[in-house]
Chains A and B, each alone.
Chain A
């Protein structure tokens, strides 16, 4: 158990819909990262938040957005869903120590199926 929690575990929805994925980082971790993993694909970095502010952006679609709240939990919003958005979405957290790339602790993931 990494200490990172994600809800829901599974999500099935229809094209055109909007969903929200939730992540709670490990206690003490200030940074949250979101990744997308499609079938047999690597981990595609979407976005990073640090202490409530956006820190880095990857290949995140305009239909997707995220935020980190004062209690440090984060939400990833996916809208106008398409079939191709079906994937595993992982959240990871880290402390963010200056001068190095920290270990990232991954949550169990949310499996999104768009029908």
Chain B
């Protein structure tokens, strides 16, 4: 079945440094979603990308969808302690599927 690979698994950064997590799919995705899970919390939807090459920004967060729609990235500029958590990408489990396949996530730690 469709797999979504995410790297790195863990990332420790100094506050103020940038952070990037990458997501790769074995198949072309119709769309990709990103979620954030704070420590002790539940996943919360951040954004959905649909178009090839799409770039969306949310304040210090920049999301990109690859031209081939098989990879995506999330970049955080000048990390803050509030950015701590695990970031998951997720794509449809298959063509026409409403089920999401989640990557294993990137756990971000920010050292103040």
List chain A positions with a Cβ less than 8 A from chain B.
2, 31, 33, 40-43, 45, 48, 50, 55-56, 58, 90, 92, 94, 96, 100-109
Given A42-B102, A42-B103, CB of A56 within 8 Å of CB of B44: no
Given A42-B103, A42-B104, CB of A101 within 8 Å of CB of B97: yes
A101–B42 CB distance below 8 A: no
How far apart are B5's CB and chain A's nearest CB, in angstroms? 11
A-B contact pairs, 16 of them (CB 8 A): A33-B99, A41-B104, A42-B102, A42-B104, A43-B43, A45-B102, A48-B99, A55-B99, A101-B31, A101-B48, A101-B91, A101-B97, A101-B100, A103-B48, A106-B44, A108-B42
Given A42-B88, A42-B105, CB of A104 within 8 Å of CB of B100: yes
B42–A100 CB distance below 8 A: no
Chain A interface main SS type: loop
Interface size band for B: 20 to 34
Determine the residue in chain A with the shortest Cβ distance to B31. Answer: A101
**Chain B residues near A40 (CB-CB < 8 A):** 107
How far apart are A2's CB and chain B's nearest CB, in angstroms? 7
B44–A94 CB distance below 8 A: no
B98–A94 CB distance below 8 A: yes
B42–A56 CB distance below 8 A: no
**Chain B residues near A33 (CB-CB < 8 A):** 99-100
A90–B43 CB distance below 8 A: yes
**Chain B residues near A107 (CB-CB < 8 A):** 42
Given A90-B42, A108-B42, A109-B42, CB of A102 within 8 Å of CB of B98: yes
Chain B 43-67 per-residue mask, 1 if CB under 8 angstroms from chain A, else 0: 1110010100000000000000000
Determine the residue in chain B with the shortest Cβ distance to A45. Answer: B99
A2–B42 CB distance below 8 A: yes
B109 at the interface (CB under 8 A from A): no
**Chain A residues near B102 (CB-CB < 8 A):** 42-43, 45
